[in-house]
Chains A and B, each alone.
Chain A
Amino acid sequence: MKRMRWFAVVLAFGLVAAACGSSDDTTTTTAAAAQATTTTAAQATTTTGAPEAGIKTGIGVDPDTKTIKLGALHDLTGPFSPLVIHINDAMKVYYDTLNANGGIDGWMIDYQVLDTSYDVPTHLEQYEALRNDVLALTASTGTPTSVSALPAMTEDNMTFIPLSWYSGWAIPEFDGGLGLEMNTNYCIEAMNLMEFIRDQGGQTVAIAGFPSDYGLDFGAGVKLAADFYGMEVVFDGAVIPGQDQTEVIAGIVASEADWTLVAVNAPVLAELMGGAFQSGYQGRWTGAGPSYNFALLDSPVGPLIDTLYYQSAYNVSWGDDAPGNVEMMEAMAAAFPDRLPSDAFIIGWNEGIIMTQVLADAIAAGDLTREGVAAAVAAQTGVDFKGTTPDQSYSGTPDEYVTRAIAIFNPDLATYTAAGGAAQTLSQEGGTTGSLLEKDFFVSEAAQEFIFDAPCFSLEG
């Protein structure tokens, strides 16, 4: 009897092991690949693939099927998920469209997204799941998360596109040249906004921002520009998300600043504008791009936004007729005809364009390894976004290649409502998010003169 029992235990163990084993075979090809080449990821990046038409290949590239695997670490269930889901959808549609049109010189893109919930541990765990599997990261959500993964990404020589506009991403000493920043950064954006304010007759400004890379980077730009233009910062308040904002609102009201510049998110912007207006604040408002969301036009502060807020943007908005934007809108409408428009689509779409350009150059140079991609980045002199945002370059010094232009929009409630407001769909003709162009892409004098060789705000507290 006892022997039978042992037999049963062994059998049970065998079944469990078999179950685990089968899932292993099919899901974690990573494991096999890593073991087949060499143990550590750093070593494995040296090219192992067979030369296909003279192209050197490495991790994440299959020369037999001509497939390039790209990873994305996106916040799909966390605090930024409402925005990032749109970005992710657009990115997926971008690569689907690209593949349908023959890929990059015949190379197909296999796009794999993993959720990070904007949580540092989860982000690092998901990075581990991708690191031996993909050629590059076409997106990495967030500053703290991407910075935490930076040591590992540096070790792997992993090119990535950070979904964050921190000014450090443009500095090779900070990110080893691996982070492909997109658009301008918060610091330079703030300088441009200051010139706009000066042109509008503003002399005194108040700042209200999150005390983070985002708000402090932006705040640093405001102060630099204030010195440059001889303007005055009369209030600088730290807005802590999720907390009572009475103190900051009182500070803005008491400062009687001509303009208030914010670096917050849309719900906080509504809270600040509504609160300050109720307390009699008369000044006008503008702020860093992520502060605004056109959904605010549907909220009780809609009329305030309409009259008092000027929106800074890195890209054109939904409905704009720039050729790149039209392409994006057609593809999105075909994929999701019944969904609401979003100004976040273009971000994901443009991230796809950057990666495509870099990969195309790497293929042309005959080196589809991570080193080849990094070399293609360093030689990249102009990614063309077809009018949706100024061209982006990554070659030379940060001061030479950093993008410095923003556009300013004036949200218009009437235009938005006339187009159907929140009942619009992607397939609708003439859909708009209500953002009317106030000032086309421009670079302020302060931003032009500014020598950009270090992040305006250092992350290391």
Chain B
Amino acid sequence: MRGRPLLYTSYPQEMRLFPTTTKRVAMALLFVVLFLLPLKLLPLVGFFGDSDWMIIIDRALIFAIAALGLNLLTGVAGQVSLGHAFFMAVGAYTAAVVGGEPGNIVWGLELPMWIWLPAAGLVAGLIGILVAPTAVRVRGLYLAFVTLGLVFIGQYLWRNLGSIAGGPTTGRTWPPLELALWRGQEPIISFAKDGSWFGVDLVKQGKAYYLLLFLVIVFAVFAKNMMRSRVGRSWASIRDRDIAAEIMGVAEAKGKTQAFAISSFYAGVAGALLAAFFGRLIPDTWDLLLAVEFIVIILIGGAGTVAGTLLGTTFVVLLPRLVEDFTLWLARLAEGDSVVSFFANLVVATDASDFGLISTSAAGPGLSIFQLNIVLFGVLIVVFLIFEPLGLYGIWIRIRNYWKAWPFSY
């Protein structure tokens, strides 16, 4: 039987996390690369270990946790939710109140991270359970609108609850990512200060990276396990045909409630991490755009798959920076006299009098890099929905299948 990749002789064998040797090797390699990333030891991609890339990669990791949660709810259980930003805010403000420093108007209990981080998830999960009954009553587009309402209710609350969220345009500070035993004690591990671990110098973003990477792995494995267990199968059946699922004995209300609770737990933890990582956020951070961003991540990555969600997050979070760097690189190319420079010059405008589609200055002709990023974001949604509904994951599957059958792929 060995060497026949698609032949499974038992159900557990087929359901294994990494069923083939190739996958196991690939995952092991990926882990090694991810582990070495902040140490700048890798050839060619060492620059990712610099703080300016690390900070973006860290945000991608935090977004990945939130996106994994939304993927369970929307991708697996089929409940379209635009309210993810709201649950992130609930988690973030729980963390702020439980772990933050009290001020003249803001509350804060200054409890350590091992309390505020789980508390953020739990409170968000509980609110998720409260919201779940509406999901049992409405579905599809209507559910999307109900959850959209949550974002607006949330924005009103955060702008007005000064003791929780601080001023509407100044926000409040969050506890740093530091693990201490109890309030007032020196942290055992700090993820918020530059320093050295086991003799290796790390920037604070690099330290936070390891914490976040660990959490992403835990949350991803948990999500994957949910999906291939009884609960996940019941969610998939509700997504695919809810009435048929109920007739087969799947408890629809229970399934949807579970999905909301777990998804909100993910969102709450991610919200708390995002706020603690950046230190100070204003209430308008948790707006509709953030909620839409997660829908986009899932659509672009590939709904219903863990790998797709992680791919989508990486792509969406890193894209703006890549576009910026690419445009600046083109602008530098455009300075020479070669043929390449000629074409680069056609695309990029470096000052107001220059012709070009993209401009490196904010005022120049054509789109500025920053406007281009916003436009690209929209274009990508349209393109993926029309041409690749399976998302990046679908593209990956096609590439994989091509090479699997190579050289007989036609």
Please report A residues at the B interface, Cβ cutoff 8 Å: 1, 4-5, 8-9, 17-18, 20-21, 23-24, 26-28, 30-31, 34-35, 39-42, 74, 76-77, 85, 88-89, 92, 113-115, 117, 119-121, 124-125, 128-129, 131-132, 143-144, 147-148, 151, 210-214, 216, 240-243, 335-336, 458-461
Contacts and interface: CB of A to CB of B under 8 A. Distances in A.
Contacts, number: 155
Interface in B255-287: 274, 278-282, 285
A174 to B, nearest CB: 13
Given A120-B285, A240-B159, A461-B105, A143 B169 contact: yes
19 contacts: A5-B403, A5-B406, A23-B326, A27-B326, A27-B328, A28-B52, A30-B52, A92-B362, A125-B321, A128-B205, A132-B52, A144-B169, A148-B278, A213-B170, A240-B160, A240-B168, A461-B104, A461-B162, A461-B172
A125 B201 contact: no
Nearest to B205: A128
A143 B407 CA distance: 59
Interface string B333-363: 1000000000000000000100000000111
A320 to B, nearest CB: 23
Interface stretch (B39-47, B70-78, B110-118, B182-190): B39-47
Interface of B: 40, 43-47, 50-56, 59, 103-106, 156, 159-160, 162, 166-173, 194, 201, 203, 205, 274, 278-282, 285, 321, 324-326, 328-329, 332-333, 352, 361-363, 368-371, 373-374, 403, 406-407
A461 B166 contact: yes
Contact of B50 (A30, A85, A117): A30
A92 B363 contact: yes
Contact of B59 (A41, A121, A216): A121
B362 A23 contact: no
B279 A144 contact: no
Contact of A128 (B51, B103, B329): B51
A148 B174 CA distance: 11
A212 B169 contact: yes
B86 to A, nearest CB: 16
A131 B408 CA distance: 51
A211 B159 CA distance: 9
B403 A9 contact: yes
Nearest to B192: A151
B188 to A, nearest CB: 21
A358 B56 CA distance: 32
Contacts of A211: 162, 167-168
B103 A460 contact: yes
A149 B282 CA distance: 14
B280 A24 contact: no
Q: Which 3 A-B pairs have the closest CB atoms?
A: A212-B169, A115-B370, A128-B52
B368 A76 contact: yes
Contacts of B45: 17, 20
A456 to B, nearest CB: 13
A378 B182 CA distance: 41
Nearest to B169: A212
Contacts of A92: 361-363
Given A23-B326, A144-B170, A120 B278 contact: yes
Contacts of A9: 403
B172 A243 contact: no
B104 A120 contact: no
A320 B67 CA distance: 54
Given A20-B45, A144-B280, A27 B329 contact: yes
B284 to A, nearest CB: 8
A336 B363 contact: yes
Contacts of B160: 240
B329 A8 contact: no
A159 B153 CA distance: 40
A18 B55 CA distance: 23
Given A20-B44, A243-B159, 6 more contacts: A113-B361, A119-B285, A129-B52, A144-B170, A241-B168, A461-B104
A77 B371 contact: yes
A28 B50 contact: yes
Contacts of B279: 148, 151
Contacts of B205: 128
Given A210-B168, A216-B167, A31 B325 contact: no
A27, A34, A88, A151: residue with the most chain B Cβ atoms closer than 10 Å: A27
Nearest to A114: B324
Nearest to B166: A461
A112 to B, nearest CB: 9
A121 B361 contact: no
A373 B274 CA distance: 34
A71 to B, nearest CB: 12
Contacts of B52: 28, 30, 125, 128-129, 131-132
Contact of A214 (B169, B201, B282, B326): B169
B84 to A, nearest CB: 16
Contacts of B406: 5, 8
Contacts of B105: 461
A40 B201 contact: yes
A74 B362 contact: yes
Contacts of B50: 28, 30-31, 34, 132
Contacts of B371: 77
B280 to A, nearest CB: 4
B37 to A, nearest CB: 13
B280 A147 contact: yes
Contacts of B170: 143-144, 147, 212-213, 459, 461
Contact of A24 (B47, B169, B333): B47
A94 B280 CA distance: 33
Nearest to A26: B329
Contacts of A242: 159
Contacts of B47: 24, 28, 31
B47, B159, B160, B278: residue with the most chain A Cβ atoms closer than 10 Å: B47
A128 B55 contact: yes
